[in-house]
Amino acid sequence: MTELPYPAVYSEGTLVAKLSPRVPRPPLSCVGCKTCATVEWSVLDRAQLQIVNSAKITRRYAAGEAVYDQGSPCLGLHCIETGTLAIRQTDAEGNSKMLRAVAAGQTLGYADYFAGKTYRASAYCLTPATVCHIPDEALQQAIVASPALGLAFLSHCAEDLQSADLMGMQQALSPVRTRVARMLLRFKDLHGVSDDDGGITVSLPMTWQEAAELVGARAETVSRAVHALEQDDVIRIQGRKVFIQDLDLLLDEVEQTGV
């Protein structure tokens, strides 16, 4: 497994034991969980949340470790507490593609859960991660007890569907350079850190090879596109770190040149 240049310190949300890697975790609770306080769960009242909480299983994963595999039965949901995961799909011919990267606070695999009971894609960790698993039974119970939860997932799913459509559109209409710029902007929102000098540093949680899959292009093509952006002083590259000096320049990249 490759060693990622990331400190094993995650400070957001509930504290995660960094000093004692052997101790799984301090008592985490969905009730107080900030990272998982997404719209879905927020509709539950305290009692319901308590039930979900007591049923959930929290686990740490190493970078590269699989959380679930395409084709395997889908027996609940996953919530990412810390870290970033990748969703990857392989088709019948063996072609594989990363569909998306999903970050802390997001619920994972819910589409597979509600669509059928089999995973259509695999999830694995890009960084070390802490992931909660909410088993089928507890989820069923919560949904029956709180119809609003189902509606919250519906709303979430509908939004994801819209953005999938939008993505497909952008993919079809823009060249790789633009798609790369768009990807960088997305990760800026997830992992961006402001510098002293007003710039932004984005640490990509993946190899450029994986980034290439994400934008639907070859690694070589992405490499060239990235260096072209650097050449034009839009960004600066250092390993998997991307420095954005002038955000406007990057934004110009995605605002089509047209008229």
Write out the residues near DNA by the rule CB under 7 A. Answer: 2-3, 175-177, 207-209, 216-221, 223-227, 237, 240
- The C-alpha atoms of residue 234 and residue 230 are separated, in whole angstroms, by 6
Which residue, 163 or 194, has its beta carbon nearer to a second copy?
Answer: 163
Mark residues 25-44: x for contact with a second copy by CB under 8 A, - for none.
--------------------
User: Under a CB-based contact definition with an 8 Å cutoff, are residues 160 and 209 in contact?
Assistant: no
Contact partner, 113, from a second copy, DNA, none, Cβ < 5-8 Å per class: a second copy
Q: Which is nearer to DNA, 117 or 218 (CB)?
A: 218
Locate 61 and state its tokens.
Answer: 């994963």
DSSP strands (E only) in the chain: 57-61, 66-68, 76-82, 85-90, 96-102, 107-108, 122-125, 129-135, 192-194, 200-203, 236-238, 241-244
Which of 116, 137, 194, 248 forms a contact with a second copy (CB under 8 A)? 116
Residue 47 binds which of DNA, a second copy, none (CB < 5-8 A, kind-dependent)? none
225 binds, among a second copy, DNA, none (CB under 5 to 8 A by kind): DNA
Query: For residue 66, what are the β-bridge partners?
Result: 124
Distance in Å, CB of 74 to a second copy, minimum: 11
Within 10 angstroms of residue 79's Cβ, the number of other Cβ atoms is 27
143 vs 176 by CB, closer to DNA = 176
Which residue from 51, 66, 114, 141 is in contact with a second copy, where contact means CB under 8 A?
A: 114
How far apart, in whole angstroms, are the C-alpha atoms of residue 218 and residue 153?
Answer: 34
Tokens of 50: 């308590």
Q: Which of 51, 66, 99, 237 binds a second copy (CB under 8 A)?
A: 99
Return the residue of 17, 39, 166, 193 that touches a second copy, per CB under 8 A: 166
Contact between 94 and a second copy per CB under 8 A:
yes
Q: How far is the CB of 3 from DNA (least distance, A)?
A: 2
Gap between the Cα atoms of 239 and 80, Å rounded: 26
Please give the C-alpha separations between residue 189 and each of 43, 77, 90, 210, in angstroms, as whole numbers: 26, 25, 28, 19
Within residues 131-150, the interface with a second copy by CB under 8 A covers 143-144, 147, 150
Q: Which of 64, 40, 214 is nearest to 129 (CA)?
A: 64
CA angle 21, 24, 29 (to 5 degrees): 135
Provide the binding-site residues for a second copy, judged by CB under 8 A. 89, 91-95, 97, 99, 110-116, 120-121, 143-144, 147, 150-151, 153-155, 157-162, 164-173, 216-217, 255-256, 258-259
